[in-house]
Amino acid sequence: MRMYDVIEKKRDGKELSYDEINYFIKNYCDELIPDYQVSALLMAIFLQGMNEREIADLTEIMANSGDVIDLSSIQGIKIDKHSTGGVGDKTTLILGPIVAACGVPVAKMSGRGLGHTGGTIDKLESIPGFKTDLTKKEFIDNVNRVGISVAGQTGNLAPADKKLYALRDVTATVNSIPLIASSIMSKKIACGADRIVLDVKTGSGAFMKTVEKSVELAETMVKIGNNLGRRTVAIVTDMDIPLGSAIGNSLEVIEAIETLKGNGPKDLEEVSLSLASKMLELAEIGDRDYCNNKAKEVLENGQALNKLAEMIETQGGNPDIIENYDIFKKPKHVYELTSGQDCYLERVKTDMLGISSMILGAGRETKDSVIDYSAGIKLNKKTGMSIRKGELIATLYADDNDKINQALQTLKKSLILSDSVEPQRPLILSNIE
C-alpha cells in the first residue's frame, strides 16, 4: 500500500477502507509518512468529506493508537460527558456531583484549557491542595469509594489525534466536521466510558458559530458513538451568552458551589440539570421524568453539594472552601466597570469576553502560559438586562493592573449596549438522540 494512492483516492471523492485509514494513521504515528503527504490527505478529507463508516473507523483507530482506559472494575454503567467548550462552562463541577449523588459512578478524565479560559482540570486545581494527577488505581479507587473522581488525561491518550491536530492547525484543515468529530470522540472512546453525553456549543463563544453546523457536528458524534458500541446522546446549547456570570478558574468554582447550594445563575443550573438528567437516563436508573426529578432532588436537598466536598477531600483538596471562599487565592487588583448611560445589554460577543479573561491571566495563550487562578471577570449584568447609569456591569480581577487596563479595552468591545433588546433564544436549542 502507498500513501500516494490513499491521497489520490480521497482526492477523487472515493471511500477509504478500514485498512487504508489504519495504514495512514499507524505509519504517521511511527513517523514513516512525512507531514506533507498527511497534509495532502487532510486537505482531501476537508474538501471531499467522509461517510459515516469512514468517520467511525478513523475514530476507533485513533482511540486505539495509545492508552485505552479499562473501567470494568468500577461497578455500574459508566457515563462520560463532554463539552465542546465555551466561556464560563463549569457544568462538570455541578453535574458530576449531582450524578454521583444519585448513585451513578462518575469517572471523568478532563483536559486543561488552551485559549479563553482554563479547562476543568485548571478550575479544580484552583482549589488549594486538589490533586488531578492520579494513577489509574487512585482514579478507580476514588470512584469506587466516593462515587466520583475527576483526573487529568493521561499523556498517551489518542496520540494519533494529537499529531493530526497539530498538523491541521497549520494547514487550514481544522474546521472539518469529520475531523473535528473523530478528534473529540477518539478521546472519549479511549477514556473507557460505556455511554456518552455531549454538550455541543453554538454561537460567538463556540467553535461552531451556527446552529446548523453545531447540530451537524452533534449528529455526527452521536453516530460515531453508536457505531462504536457506546450509546451516545447530545444537546446543542447557546454560547452567544456566557454560561453563568463568572469567567475564570476560582471564580467559576465558587459559582459552581453556589449553584449546588441553590444560589447559582439559572442558566447554569438549567444546562447542568439537563445534562445530569441525560446521564442518569443513559445509566438506566429510571425513565426521563424520574431522572429529571431525581437530579433536582439531590441538588435541592444538599446531597450533590456534599458529594463535591467528598471528592475535594478525597483528592487532597481543602473541603472548607465549600463554606469559606477566602481560602482561594485572592487577586491583587479589582476593577469595577460601570455604565455611563441608561441602556440595555443587547448582546455579548462571547469570544471577545473570553479573550478579555485570557488577557487577565485566566486562560492560556500558548501551552506554556501560566494561569492565574484568581484572575477573571464577573458579569454583574447579563444579556437582555436593563442597566441604569452608574450601575455595575462587570468586575475584573487580576494580579497585574496593566493586564486589567489591556483586558478592559477588549471587554468594552464585547459588550453591545443599546436602547432596546430583542427576545432571547432558548438556552437548549436541540436534542440529538
Q: Which of 162, 168, 364, 403 is catalytic?
A: 168
Tell me the three cell numbers of residue 29: 504515528
Q: Are strands 195-202 and 79-83 parallel, antiparallel or unpaired?
A: parallel
Sheet holding 428-432, edge to edge: 79-83, 195-202, 231-238, 428-432
Residues listed for the chain: 433
φ and ψ of 233, to 5 deg: -135, 165
Calpha distance 193→186 (Å, rounded): 12
CA-angle at 114, arms to 70 and 163, nearest 5°: 60
SS3 assignment, position 61: helix
Active site residue 333: no
Q: Which of 65, 182, 183, 274 is catalytic?
A: 183
Q: Is 116 a catalytic residue?
A: no
Active site residue 187: yes
Tell me how far apart the alpha carbons of residues 242 and 203 are, in angstroms, rounded to a whole number. Answer: 10
Which of the following is catalytic: 161, 199, 238, 351?
A: 161
Neighbour count for residue 13 (Cβ, 10 Å): 10
Q: Are strands 343-348 and 246-247 parallel, antiparallel or unpaired?
A: unpaired
Residue 415 pairs with which residues in a beta bridge? 348
User: Which cell numbers hold the place of 343?
Assistant: 441602556
Cell of 222: 452521536
Strands of 32-158, DSSP E: 79-83, 106-110, 148-152
Catalytic, out of 123, 162, 187, 188? 187
Grid cell locating 153:
488525561
From CA 377, how far away is CA 356, in angstroms rounded?
8
Alpha-carbon span 299 to 223, nearest angstrom = 32
What lies within 8 Å, CB to CB, of 293 at 6+ separation is none
Q: Which residues are catalytic?
A: 82, 161, 168, 183, 187
